[in-house]
Amino acid sequence: MDVIVIETTQLGDRSYLVHDGSVALVIDPQRDTDRVEAAALGAGVRITHVAETHIHNDYLTGGLELARAHGATYLVNAADPVTFERQPIANGQTVRVGALSVKAVATPGHTHTHLSFIVDDGGQQAVFSGGSLLYGSVGRTDLVGAEDTLGLTHDQYASVRRLAGEATPGAGLFPTHGFGSFCSSGPASGAGSSTIGEQLTSNHALTDPDEDHFVQELIANLTAYPSYYAHMGVTNTAGPGPADLTVPEALDAEELMRRLEAGEWVVDLRRRVAFASSHLKGSVSFGYGDSFSTYLGWVMPWGEQLTLVGSRADVEDAIRDLARIGIDSPDAALGTDPHALAPRAAVASFPCVGWDAVPVHRSGGGDAVVDVRRADEYAASRVAGAVNVPLHDLLPRLADLPAGKLWVHCTSGYRAGIAASLLQRAGRDVVLIDARFDDAEAAGIPLETSGAASG
């Protein structure tokens, strides 16, 4: 048995191609299936089976289209109310994939109908745990609904213990989530691999003997998750169509200027410092990188047409990332020089500074520090007197911000860059603090480290 990992670092997830040297099973493929097909081609194997551990909340699956393209058997929990053709599978059932035996194990917790798969080649085992047992943690249990969270958290505690009991200690563990995904109930462990035996001695879900304590602790530490998750499960249940990864014909200068003047969403993919120094007035900054699709999908109004502005490479990558979360067919203007993109359009800028430039003493009606981190981050430690409006709440809460100049910060500068662009677009006077929050105190900025968050 060989396991090939297909990383999606942008969403903190992994998909897997598991094969015996001849035929392969794909587990939890992302919507851009060309990466899986390339892996299969490189390994010289034929895809005969595709399996889902659960109806995903953080991305659109490529499972249905991949199965159709290869005439493969599509394994989806018999209890999932999907509207497409699949091979239903349930707890305890076993499927042969060449020399491999694939056993489904019910592991509710992340969702009610979650399955894990134990793959055995007669000599070794591999456990594909989806959003159940992760490295050092488990999948979050609040995505189905608030009324289900308590029950699902108890289910999660029981499920991971049952899964660990059914597998051998030496079995490799291959979760889908847990590498930065918001589907994890805790921060990424940083581990790149693990076994069931290692998790039995280090994972709090397996070492905490008090189920109620585990449940209370997990629920207490759940944080905000992206709003676009609300759209993923519905589409995955219906069956997503294929991803269109083609770069559209570039808009001309006049059409780009018309969209800016009409208040449409024009997204600049350059790095935040470049954006701050010069950008098309009315555009917003979502610098392309690993966090791009998560925050764009979380912040932007869902379903509105987007125009991407940037280099061809960045636009191409952005289209792929957005397709994974169901944002299809964005338009594009290719180029990185605002003046050349639309010579007759207005160009804007805003200051970009370090902590040493931030005024320590601020009075009412003047300057204000705006912290756009999540409420839990703000509650743990914050700039004294800072106003907390998390980035994902910024657009609907613009009226909550004080008058005067706004000095915007986050943890590293990425979220603050987005926020500063949104605030300037809304007509506010902004300064981007492009610095790490951990460096604020050393720069003489007073911090507070206790009390509840205001946002």
Q: Report d(CA 325, CA 112) in Å as an integer.
A: 22
From residue 208, how far is each of 162, 202, 211 by CA, in Å?
A: 15, 10, 7
Could you say which residues of the chain have pLDDT below 50? 452-455
Contact 413, 272 (CB under 8 A): yes
pLDDT tens digit sequence for 150-174: 999 999 999 999 999 999 999 999 9
CA neighbours closer than 13 Å in the CB half-sphere of residue 87: 17
pLDDT tens digit sequence for 242-251: 999 999 999 9
Side chain identity at residue 216, one-letter code: Q
pTM here? 0.94
Place of tokens 């991407």: 308
Side chain identity at residue 415, one-letter code: R
In eight-state DSSP terms, residue 393 is: G
pLDDT at res. 360:
84
pLDDT at res. 455:
46
pLDDT at res. 63:
98
CA neighbours closer than 13 Å in the CB half-sphere of residue 255: 10
pLDDT at res. 361:
76
| DSSP sequence for 253-309 | HHHHHHHHHTT-EEEE-S-HHHHHHSEETT-EE--SSTTHHHHHHHHSPTT--EEEE
